[in-house]
Structure 1
């Protein structure tokens, strides 16, 4: 079936050369004497992106999109030396980036407006299953886009809080030559390169190869982390109207640190003797712990113009991933509080995924109203095979407890039996969207219909659960752009999401449903490279799943509501100052539940978060290219569970950076850059999050990284 889908589908796409700002012109970017108009997938000069594709699937102006969208450009990623997506999103409003604390080297676990978002790569979902969740190094990316609120009308099943779209570095006509080396505490060693340009004089064939790798000691004793990624790409101009871009990515994580947890008593609260566990306390076993993940992704982006106002686009990706994972994890204190009870988990997984998005995009004018119409048909399939075993404390195969005073990380760990689980899910969706402009008024409307077939089998083919879900989602939005750069907007968006399984059982849950009402103001001051978004929203998710019961079942009668207010701003000023400002207030409430939690705050959703990052680079003079940055991040108090009986205290963390482009010292050193980044400057010890009284996670301590890079023509 997937093969037939490669040749079908319709879409209406937006011409990158046609302006869609209220004034009818785009702000040009000066690059080495040439004028270049920014596109939604190309480089961003400074911190302020002009355009994005994620919210509309068109090359749309951010200042005139009636929805909150945040874009983190590669310049900001480099300045902060972010080495995973959680670190990239630390300075985005509404994001709580450290759900797993300093044991999060394997996955980018975070929340957006109270819910864990899905991650997309170049507009296609990063398919994952249990431990085979993908991870992408930011060095491979041109930018990271955050769409806030439901987005199912364009993407199908998504969480209500929003989604994260990672935009890959692509071939460009400008030659790209860069390499870097880095070192730091915990025996960190890393390197990478980014090379690309023309393969022929006409520029009809362009290439790019980006690679990066890091090895370091983990934050916990005895555990290392290592990863390597490479992303080659090739862009072919087949004719004046037709273009094909081939994109590939490979990632290998042979070692990924610990993935355990520490108890609430001993981290947030002291132990009976008044002490707390050290931040690097390891709850596992060094001879048993292992994690090996390999991921291959192959895809392409194809586009063809039939005429000046009608374009066909097709995006395709195949993903293959495998994980071999074993872990001993802490599961709460023993009765006398002198040892950690522990469990064992082991999983061997293979996941294949196919995604294809066909689009037809074009323009129609009806009198004074200009329309950008998008129609699309997409398909995705996830096929997973899993051998999984779990031994909880008290089980016959449970590992021995771990002494807190004298931990032994090399004990005899019993083998555990594994059961086989299979999971297969197909999603087919049809969508249509109209972006209409009448003078300075932009209106956005869209609808989508999805059919999802899900089959779950196991353990060992003992039982099978198959279901078909259908959903219609829609969106409405309007924005008016005044001459002074102020643009008020309102929007309504819907989402639905079909959960994978209900836990260790194979039964399939009903989809959750979400809706959001949002109103706000965007401000893009004239003559200043800046964009500020202020918004208020009410977000509701229904059919929420309750806690896993002893018999392995879950109820689905819950409703969660999050009301919030956000400020998100970025600016790159003429004097060499770049800044990122974010703040959010989230008022969460469980509106309906069968477990007695109705009226409580929603778990792991702090009321207040805020961040500020300032980076200055001397633009001229003897110290041209010298500069530094400072940042502050605040996360408010969180409820551990929906019972609201335990809380994680608020915390504030500071970051800093120094950097110098050596060409300012001597022209012979042009292209060389040195940088020093320090995260958690004051080495603050804090608990970033807890998911229960037995599972808490310390945040990262001070991390110092020194980097040297060289760019040449």
Structure 2
């Protein structure tokens, strides 16, 4: 394999030297600190109480109040996740404006598939990208998290390559000084049973060493017949804080998902449309083979976060993570009905599989400086990040499998062995340097940022039939920028404007054998935020225009293997409204509305394919809305009883590349009850119980359809009871 470029080596060496120097300085500072005893902290390490977070480091890598960020951002707190009973990232995002979660419904529970503002979004863990391929992509359990930040719109300036939808940053639970001991037992339908544990506190009397140990075990039948879900994880964390100015946190995770449902689908006929006999498939219908289905995924990671404040003006931060993941995937899946029968009874099916082994390394170092130039107050951030991914993927061909009689299904047919056809080894290198300045003058806040990225991918695909090796290499580099301005009135109103860019490398060459340019995203956003003085509430409204450019499209009349050009474009225009408020003690409300008009604005037509211009990509509803309200009784014999209800509306979306049909809208109702048993009896102090019901009325719903062959049912009613003990 080719070695990393000289510039990458120099960057890594510089980062290593800087880290050693920083650590030495931190130790010296611990011996003779002369600064005021201000504890190093940021919102990423704090756990917001209730549903309303005050600030975020995701948007700017600095601890910035949400009301001062000139871009739309939503924060899902740990309290919200717990009280809504969220277990996966998709469930966490159900009540977030601009997000269409669970695009593959209840089937693909093993993956976090959703879109933000009509596009894909980059998934982060603790501010660093989670790398991986589909069948070995690590999935973070919601119980590991203390918050989730959703930054909407292109965000490459802070995080490098990614789609124009934005970033979803999952923030791990951190060690706390306060003693925390928590054990949960959960039971639910589909034979769901789960045990959670979460312990934290100080190791020594001086509270220089803090720990946290979070873990979980759960097993369940999947919503889809003949499928199972199973997970085990343990996530230890350790913090060393020798002085008020220095902190080092180690974060690790060990996880295995030996069973994670299916990855199948159902046809549009008998789900979206009636067949001639009027019979529809049940949402629990399984199109695969239980004797063949395999989804065995495991991963482990270890990383650190280091922060040192030299003085009130200068702070350095460094973080890194190593992650290893493995995935074994085997599946039989449907491809519509057998042609010619006309009775829509027999599904034609295929089989396939992969074995994936991957390692990734991510590293980010940056320095933050605060200074003034006249009337301007600056918070300057300059940094460099690096990522390296290496993977080995053994892949089979997709061959025919025995058909399935939907009225008399046999889920243990002789499938036969897979035909392994290729073994692909790939290495990816990403290096970026970035600079950002947050400028404040009176009530104005100006955000300026720029970044330059280098990306290189090298792969070797070996044919298992012939032994022939096909090498390939792609390089990409891009500059992305961001500018935003917001004005904070004394009455809590804050209008803002922003412009942001993103980029995504893509492989292949054009007709002149030149590498394709990266996909580019750009967004214009104008909005207003309102935080009433003295109130725990935040209201926001945003109008946005996003364009994703340089999409590949076929050159009309071209003959040959290189017949693509980069003239395609997709555009999204939309409106988002979001409200988070705690009106009175015990009463909380989350309300959202999103309007997203997404369509292809540029595409070529060919003799064999019509243009996509004017078409809307599948699975993107134009209208979405949700509301969640919770009230906890403050007095009386039932004092401590919490009652919550939620309403989720997903509008119609299109199925098929050419908007061949509409997927119907759906409105789902959720509810929750919780009670502090310590209010009823002092002997039960620390114990509480909860009941969560999603899709209360068990309404049949379709999440999306890519075509008439592939559609996905959404979650049906799920019930979960929790007994929690804290001491």
Whether the TM-score (by the shorter chain) exceeds 0.5 is yes
Post-superposition offset of 1:415: 1.6
2:428 to 419, 425, 429: 425
* Contact residue 655 and residue 705 of structure 2 kept, 8 A: yes
Spell out, residue by residue over 1:112-171, the C-alpha distance to the aligned partner (whole angstroms, 9 max, x if none). Answer: 000121110000001111322221111111100000000001111011010100011100
* Contact residue 657 and residue 707 of structure 2 kept, 8 A: no
Where does residue 479 of structure 1 map in the other structure? 486
Distance 1:632 1:134, change over 3 A: same
Q: For residues 292 and 696 of structure 1, what CA distance do their matches in structure 2 show?
A: 24
* Contact residue 135 and residue 297 of structure 2 kept, 8 A: no
Where does residue 404 of structure 1 map in the other structure? 406
Distance 1:523 1:173, change over 3 A: same
2:371 to 364, 382, 386: 364
Distance 1:360 1:180, change over 3 A: same
Where does residue 246 of structure 2 map in the other structure? 242
Where does residue 594 of structure 2 map in the other structure? 584
* Contact residue 618 and residue 705 of structure 2 kept, 8 A: no
* Contact residue 448 and residue 473 of structure 1 kept, 8 A: yes
Matches within 5 A, 1:461-480: 462-480=469-487
| 1:71 equivalenced with 2:75 (yes/no) | yes
Matches within 5 A, 1:188-207: 188-207=192-211
Q: Give unpaired runs (5+ residues) of structure 1.
A: 13-34, 392-396
Where does residue 636 of structure 1 map in the other structure? 651
2:86 to 82, 85, 88: 82
Matches within 5 A, 1:323-472: 323-335=327-339, 336=341, 337-391=344-398, 397-418=399-420, 419-460=422-463, 462-472=469-479
Q: For residues 411 and 552 of structure 1, what CA distance do their matches in structure 2 show?
A: 42
Spell out, residue by residue over 1:184-220, the C-alpha distance to the aligned partner (whole angstroms, 9 max, x if none). Answer: 1000000101001000011100000011121101111
Matches within 5 A, 1:126-165: 126-165=130-169
Where does residue 582 of structure 2 map in the other structure? 572
Distance 1:583 1:600, change over 3 A: same
1:488 to 486, 495, 500: 495
* Contact residue 443 and residue 487 of structure 2 kept, 8 A: yes
TM-score, normalisation: structure 1: 0.92
Q: For residues 225 and 321 of structure 2, what CA distance do their matches in structure 1 show?
A: 39
Q: For residues 285 and 667 of structure 1, what CA distance do their matches in structure 2 show?
A: 53
| 1:689 equivalenced with 2:704 (yes/no) | yes
Spell out, residue by residue over 1:328-352, the C-alpha distance to the aligned partner (whole angstroms, 9 max, x if none). Answer: 0111111122211101110000111
Distance 1:550 1:707, change over 3 A: farther
1:101 to 74, 88, 105: 105
Q: How many corresponding residue pairs?
A: 681
Q: Secondary structure at the match of 1:456?
A: strand
Distance 1:195 1:509, change over 3 A: farther
Post-superposition offset of 1:589: 1.9
2:684 to 661, 669, 676: 669
* Contact residue 288 and residue 332 of structure 2 kept, 8 A: yes
Q: For residues 706 and 116 of structure 1, what CA distance do their matches in structure 2 show?
A: 33
More displaced 10-residue stretch of structure 1: 531-540 or 637-646? 637-646
Post-superposition offset of 1:466: 0.7
Spell out, residue by residue over 1:218-250, the C-alpha distance to the aligned partner (whole angstroms, 9 max, x if none). Answer: 111111110112110000013443221000112
Note the aligned Cα RMSD (angstroms).
Answer: 2.3
Q: Secondary structure at the match of 2:45?
A: coil
Post-superposition offset of 1:509: 6.3
Q: For residues 367 and 434 of structure 2, what CA distance do their matches in structure 1 show?
A: 11
| 1:56 equivalenced with 2:65 (yes/no) | no
Post-superposition offset of 1:294: 0.4
* Contact residue 94 and residue 566 of structure 1 kept, 8 A: yes
Post-superposition offset of 1:555: 6.0
* Contact residue 456 and residue 501 of structure 1 kept, 8 A: no
Q: For residues 631 and 457 of structure 1, what CA distance do their matches in structure 2 show?
A: 50
Q: Secondary structure at the match of 2:569?
A: strand
Post-superposition offset of 1:551: 8.1
* Contact residue 622 and residue 664 of structure 1 kept, 8 A: no
Q: Give unpaired runs (5+ residues) of structure 2.
A: 1-8, 23-38, 606-610
Distance 1:220 1:346, change over 3 A: same
Q: Secondary structure at the match of 1:103?
A: coil
Q: For residues 212 and 516 of structure 2, what CA distance do their matches in structure 1 show?
A: 43
Spell out, residue by residue over 1:14-52, the C-alpha distance to the aligned partner (whole angstroms, 9 max, x if none). Answer: xxxxxxxxxxxxxxxxxxxxx999833311011000010
1:296 to 295, 300, 303: 300
Q: Secondary structure at the match of 2:80?
A: helix
Distance 1:550 1:77, change over 3 A: farther
More displaced 10-residue stretch of structure 1: 420-429 or 237-246? 237-246
Q: Secondary structure at the match of 2:401?
A: coil
Q: For residues 508 and 669 of structure 1, what CA distance do their matches in structure 2 show?
A: 67
Q: For residues 41 and 166 of structure 2, what CA distance do their matches in structure 1 show?
A: 28
Distance 1:364 1:615, change over 3 A: same
Q: For residues 670 and 116 of structure 1, what CA distance do their matches in structure 2 show?
A: 45
Spell out, residue by residue over 1:246-300, the C-alpha distance to the aligned partner (whole angstroms, 9 max, x if none). Answer: 0011211000111111111121011232111111111111111111000111100
Q: For residues 36 and 656 of structure 1, what CA distance do their matches in structure 2 show?
A: 39
Q: For residues 524 and 95 of structure 2, what CA distance do their matches in structure 1 show?
A: 24
* Contact residue 300 and residue 317 of structure 1 kept, 8 A: yes
Post-superposition offset of 1:643: 0.8
Q: For residues 371 and 64 of structure 1, what CA distance do their matches in structure 2 show?
A: 14
Q: For residues 575 and 537 of structure 2, what CA distance do their matches in structure 1 show?
A: 20
TM-score, normalisation: structure 2: 0.91
